[in-house]
């Protein structure tokens, strides 16, 4: 399975913001939900500029273990993300992606403006 669509979407998450695995899965309609999003993030290729560290668990929790959990926390803190222990303040840092507007609706609105 190719994770390209997941990686392109994750690249849109701004610095200092995070998205949960569940929200990522719902937005992209991934079969298997948050677990599938987690698998995609675990398979992120290095050196491609994909900010894997901006995808976190429910309730702002860092779910990966070992040295990568500390790396994820350090990377997020370097972007200004605030923590309480290993939880991100989601009220402050949760990214709310804009809903995509269907092309036909956008075209119709442009015609109305003219």
Which pLDDT value is given to residue 99?
Answer: 62
The domain total for the chain is 1
CATH number at residue 14: 1.10.10.10
Range of the domain at 38: 4-113
Each residue's pLDDT tens digit, 43-73: 999 999 999 999 999 999 999 988 999 999 9
Q: Which pLDDT band, with edges at 50, 70 and 90, does 36 fall under?
A: very high
- Tokens at residue 20, please? 């949960």
Each residue's pLDDT tens digit, 66-102: 899 999 999 999 999 999 877 999 999 999 987 643 4
* 23, containing H or E segment: helix 21-28
Predicted TM-score of the model (pTM): 0.82
For the chain, the distance separating the N- and C-terminal CA atoms, rounded to the nearest angstrom, is 44
């Amino acid at each position: 399975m190719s994770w390209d669509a997941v990686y392109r979407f994750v690249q849109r998450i701004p610095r200092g913001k995070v998205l949960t695995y569940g929200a990522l899965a719902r937005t992209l309609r991934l079969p298997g939900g948050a677990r599938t999003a987690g698998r995609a993030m675990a398979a992120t290729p290095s050196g491609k500029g994909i900010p894997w560290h901006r995808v976190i668990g429910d309730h702002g929790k860092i779910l990966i273990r070992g040295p990568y959990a500390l790396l994820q926390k350090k990377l997020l803190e370097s972007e200004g993300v605030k923590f309480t222990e290993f939880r991100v303040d989601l009220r402050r840092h949760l990214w709310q992606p804009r809903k995509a507007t269907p092309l036909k609706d956008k075209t119709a609105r442009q015609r109305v403006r003219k």
